[in-house]
Structure 1
Amino acid sequence: MHLNTAPLEPKRKPCIRDLATLTATLLPPALVQLTSLKQLRRRVREINATHPHYQEETPLVLAWEEQRRQRLSGELAVTVTNRAQVA
């Protein structure tokens, strides 16, 4: 019987360079803002499976988009001002 006594590698921290590359190539801001959260989560899982070196950065993009949508989820009000008609 063999026991693996090697210490576990520490979790990697997000890298700003990888985050910039991720948002420039695989998850551009326009795409992130226009897709539904369900599709965005699916895309994040796909990126994590095909590009594992982005696994630390994709949750950040998803969290930021969820926060952005939460901030903007309030009702929008339209105000109409009465203008005097010129004859």
Structure 2
Amino acid sequence: GFVKKGHVVSVAVLEQHRGKGIGTMLVNESLKGVKMKQCGEMYLEVRCSNNDAVKLYDRLGFAILQRPKSYYRDGEDAFLMAIDFIS
């Protein structure tokens, strides 16, 4: 059947404010909103080289589903990550 999905388009925290939990707070607020809309899944794309973001999303329960090749204009691959609210 049809599953409503939320999509994270962009999350950014200025370098001088990283490590303060701001990114976690932003993503958690997004997760709350998606759950309130009764979506079954939330997904995002993140640069494979963005280790801090990948760790953040992993810590929040996102899993890597795919690695789209040359996803970004500069040729870098992405990780397609998602969190499932149904199972």
Range of TM-score over shorter length:
0.3 to 0.5
Q: Scaled by the length of structure 2, what TM-score is found? A: 0.32
Say which structure is richer in helix.
1
Say which structure is richer in strand.
2
Point out the structure with max Rg over C-alpha: 1
